[in-house]
Structure 1
């Protein structure tokens, strides 16, 4: 059964995947899940989260501003477009399709202590020790290596690698990785406000809100909405890990997987015979040219400093402290 449930991982938006099952097999698993949930709709997003390791199993030790912390209280387990992540300092409402689950997730988020940074300093930082999963674990992976994947994003944005404009970092085993985050604040003169957005190449808050028809705008948010609209155009539904609580859209289920797989080949543009596609199929490959950065606010840049972690020092094994 575990092997069959791996087909749910194809709802993630990782490119270059091949279909695991045919349509009839997907239909049988679809009916099985319907019966398991008492002939009511099942949430692929919540199932994927329940099948993933808890954050306390992955982030086993931590220090915040020089003091040890309970990492289980600081991290939230949330499905994203590419996998289930343990998210630190997250401040975005739940994406579950069920109201009771959304309320439970939001209560959990409000209970997590807020960490506010004031400067880039070793004395004003967080340090975490990550624990790898054993080889016999059934966790489904997409990368050829087994490094940890860290995605950096603003705390109000949806955590998606496909949209993030800040970046990702791969942390190998037995290494210490320092990630300074440098903010750059910017603003624009009043005269710029009268220039059309397509010329100044940025949006003011009220313009971005009108574009997305929601109160929050960012470049990442616009790219997220663009991808969701592209899925709906092509398949009539959105992949459950991508659906947002603020969007009134239908969620794709197992019988929709073949269409989503076809959407991915078009969106990512790796079809070797694209000249044979019909014009309708190009609806999926949006360029998202309407998505622009904000005209004032803060921009973040990241760098990494990597050093190997020695298991011993002068023939002495680490027994105490964060490196134990």
Structure 2
């Protein structure tokens, strides 16, 4: 009996530990979900040339008209304005060539966001032809000029409401219903997004990376395109190539039953249960954590991040500070165990610790495969319009590249996340274990508790009341004979009830 009890307790303890250490289970739905029901990812196209030569020359001429810049020549002013590129990436700079304070004084009174927006190559100069789901469309109807981590770019299906206001705890209009809307596509050869990009090298002034071409970036439709915050992918489009991007989507939906599981065990958050953000996503959480870090260190936030309410956007004067914390600000450490000093992460001060940023419980994830094909612009220009696809008719292919983004499969993988067992499953599991090993069950437990608590209490109470009654009777009535176990039998008790009623006595 003792051995069975020990064995039963051990098995029950193992069941409890397994439940609390891994309370969730993720299962794949065999049928999946059609890609036509999933929002297409946001697509951004940014030229590697971040500053237009014609725009910077016009700015230089306007600045030279100012009295404070009368000692500069046009060449010197253009060389000074080259320092604006440091707002994109804080690379090591030559102090003789890049002089932030001189540039700040030369610019005078300026707004960083407006200044960099006006200097960025425009979408109408970059995008020549566009199509969506086999329908030729005006590129200006498909693409918007929006802010990303690479500055202002041409974005498609980027559904975030504002570039200049970061959604703070006090406001924000995001809701779960927004994921029902947005551009959607099907799986077919000609479906998806198509764009003919013109790479005008004659307008190049500043490259944020030493490569010709353009950057093709992808993110969730409602997440800010930001590489350190996740939900981001990027690929370089070289000149004179056709790039086909195959998108594979996977959808994870978590049951609300897991919400009672502690956050440290389930390792995820729902959109409405974070005090850090009014509408929680993993990407927004990491982004806000990075911005608050830079705000604490440099008293401002970079222009290529969403603007925070009542806080200053970094300008030229803040470049040295941003340069100091650049590596650390791009190294985010979410809710993980402490990093040992031997790891490389310690080289940037351990990165930014963001323990409040758990993955999103329900999310759509995208993966991308890229295929490049060399094109011959001179030959393609000779092809008559009758032999071209509709969206390419009348196009000049000199100095261009093509991009085609489409789904790689008809069905997206679908996963469900739920608790491995509910409370009644846990009780049933424990009860069956005890019953199998010792013949013990929850009914036995209830009976045991009843007999050794309620029943025992009542029995003790009855005996105490009986003892008190007997003691009181013996002390007050002394003329009665002592109560014996057997009393005398009267003869009339042996007679029937009928004889008693008739008055018969024996």
TM-score class, shorter-chain normalisation, is 0.7 to 0.9
- Whole-Å separation in 1 of the counterparts to 2:299 and 2:139: 40
- Structure 1 pair 267/3, CA: closer, same or farther in 2 (3 Å)? same
Counterpart of 1:137 (choices 198, 203, 212) is 203
- Structure 1 pair 117/217, CA: closer, same or farther in 2 (3 Å)? same
Judge conservation of contact 2:215–2:236 (CA < 8 Å) in 1. Answer: yes
- Structure 1 pair 165/95, CA: closer, same or farther in 2 (3 Å)? closer
Counterpart of 1:51 (choices 97, 119, 127) is 119
Deviations 1:92-128 (A, max 9, x none): 233348xxxxxxxxxxxxxxxx962232323431211
C-alpha displacement of 1:236? 1.6
C-alpha displacement of 1:24? 10
Judge conservation of contact 1:62–1:128 (CA < 8 Å) in 2. Answer: yes
* Bigger helix share: 2
- Whole-Å separation in 1 of the counterparts to 2:368 and 2:226: 17
Counterpart of 2:103 (choices 16, 29, 32) is 29
Aligned to 2:154: 86
Query: How many corresponding residue pairs?
Result: 285
Alignment pair present for 1:184 and 2:250: yes
Aligned to 2:282: 219
Counterpart of 1:249 (choices 311, 316, 341) is 311
Aligned to 1:156: 222
Judge conservation of contact 1:185–1:297 (CA < 8 Å) in 2. Answer: yes
- Structure 1 pair 115/311, CA: closer, same or farther in 2 (3 Å)? farther
Aligned to 2:326: 264
Judge conservation of contact 2:80–2:97 (CA < 8 Å) in 1. Answer: no
C-alpha displacement of 1:48? 0.8
- Whole-Å separation in 2 of the counterparts to 1:298 and 1:43: 36
- Whole-Å separation in 1 of the counterparts to 2:266 and 2:291: 26
- Whole-Å separation in 1 of the counterparts to 2:120 and 2:381: 36
Judge conservation of contact 1:52–1:84 (CA < 8 Å) in 2. Answer: yes
Judge conservation of contact 1:60–1:130 (CA < 8 Å) in 2. Answer: yes
TM-score, normalised via structure 1 length? 0.77
- Whole-Å separation in 1 of the counterparts to 2:330 and 2:256: 39
- Structure 1 pair 125/92, CA: closer, same or farther in 2 (3 Å)? same
- Whole-Å separation in 1 of the counterparts to 2:365 and 2:300: 33
Judge conservation of contact 1:74–1:88 (CA < 8 Å) in 2. Answer: yes
Judge conservation of contact 1:45–1:79 (CA < 8 Å) in 2. Answer: no
Aligned to 2:495: none
Q: Which moved more, 1:195-204 or 1:299-308?
A: 299-308
Judge conservation of contact 1:166–1:300 (CA < 8 Å) in 2. Answer: no
Q: Which runs of 5+ in 2 are unaligned?
A: 1-76, 166-180, 332-340, 397-506
Alignment pair present for 1:118 and 2:192: no
Judge conservation of contact 1:311–1:318 (CA < 8 Å) in 2. Answer: no
- Whole-Å separation in 1 of the counterparts to 2:230 and 2:94: 28
- Whole-Å separation in 2 of the counterparts to 1:83 and 1:24: 20
- Whole-Å separation in 2 of the counterparts to 1:169 and 1:120: 22
- Structure 1 pair 316/205, CA: closer, same or farther in 2 (3 Å)? closer
C-alpha displacement of 1:43? 1.6
- Whole-Å separation in 2 of the counterparts to 1:116 and 1:242: 24
Aligned to 1:106: none
- Whole-Å separation in 1 of the counterparts to 2:384 and 2:152: 32
- Structure 1 pair 196/61, CA: closer, same or farther in 2 (3 Å)? same
RMSD across aligned C-alpha pairs, in angstroms?
Answer: 3.1
Name the SS for the 1:290 alignment partner.
coil
Deviations 1:150-183 (A, max 9, x none): 1101222112233233411222222222223232
Q: Which moved more, 1:157-166 or 1:20-29?
A: 20-29
- Structure 1 pair 234/282, CA: closer, same or farther in 2 (3 Å)? farther
Higher-Rg member (1/2): 2
- Structure 1 pair 174/205, CA: closer, same or farther in 2 (3 Å)? same
Alignment pair present for 1:10 and 2:86: yes
TM-score, normalised via structure 2 length? 0.51
- Structure 1 pair 178/316, CA: closer, same or farther in 2 (3 Å)? closer
- Whole-Å separation in 2 of the counterparts to 1:32 and 1:93: 34
Aligned to 1:196: 262
